[in-house]
Structure 1
Amino acid sequence: MDVLSAVLPAVEESLRITAIIFVLMIAVELAVLKYRDRIIRLTSKNQFLSYIVSSFFGIIPGCTGT
């Protein structure tokens, strides 16, 4: 009983964090799909802006492929 009371909060917190990351990944993917053309157009005109956009997507979990 004592082990279960110690493990259960950790499992709940892990599931909560996993759900938050999942929702953030879905939100970013939807934004990229919707605004892909605009992002490409803006970043091709300005090299510095390209670094800023890449850094923004790089700090978001699950977006290492951008």
Structure 2
Amino acid sequence: MPVPTRRRGADSGPVHPVGLARWCARVTRSRPFEAAIVVLIMANAAVLGVETYRISVRPARRCTGWK
């Protein structure tokens, strides 16, 4: 099977995102975004801990929607 050849100008260097892609890339590289993700992960761990804890945490479990 023959290997396709490269087209001229196909390797013109790195592609830079434009518009919405550039904004998304800038947001995801920001320090506040990283901090927000860490806080959300920690909050999720706390909620899962409350929901699965067997000793009396009924008021907290009721707040999360579990009986």
Bigger proportion of residues as helix: 1
The structure that has the greater radius of gyration is 2
Bucket of the pairwise TM-score, normalised by the shorter protein: 0.3 to 0.5
The structure showing larger relative contact order (alpha-carbon pairs under 8 Å, at least 6 residues apart) is 1
Please, what TM-score do these two structures have when normalized by structure 1? 0.39
The two structures have a TM-score, normalised by structure 2, of 0.38
